Amino acid sequence: MDLTNAGRFDAVVNSVFSALADAFPQAIDLDPETLGIAEGPAYLSDVSGREKASEHFATHFFAASCMRFLLAEGYISGTVHHTWAATVVLTAKGLEQIGGLPMSLRSA
């Protein structure tokens, strides 16, 4: 059975892992637009100042769903919202996945 969204999932995960590896050990916020996954913001303000979903909302939501999976499986720690994630950092499991576990965390 093929996973329809596997390619999109891989692209999001690669972007997330790359951003988190660059920031490690600091926790960072992850916005799909900033990561280059989405081509615009998830929300736009209308003339009355109310936010409404943009044409890019679905891409942001998908990316957040990928991050939610990584969180549930223990690869990242943080808070995942509907379209972005806050204070995210790689866990030891995530570091092992990308081959970046520091020597100080390796067992002898």
For residue 15, tell me if it sits in a domain: no
pLDDT averaged over consecutive 10-residue blocks of the chain (108 residues)? 88 98 97 96 91 96 98 98 97 93 78
For residue 73, tell me if it sits in a domain: yes
Number of domains the chain is built from: 1
Closest listed residue to residue 51, CA positions, set 59, 42, 43 = 43
User: What ranges in 24-91 are assigned the alpha helix state H?
Assistant: 57-72
Number of C-beta neighbours around residue 50 at 10 A: 9
Q: Give the contacts of 86 (CB within 8 A, at least 6 positions apart).
A: 29, 78, 79
For residue 67, tell me if it sits in a domain: yes
For residue 107, tell me if it sits in a domain: no
For residue 38, tell me if it sits in a domain: yes
Give the pTM.
Answer: 0.90
For residue 2, tell me if it sits in a domain: no
In the DSSP assignment, the letter for residue 89 is E
Domain that holds residue 57: 26-97
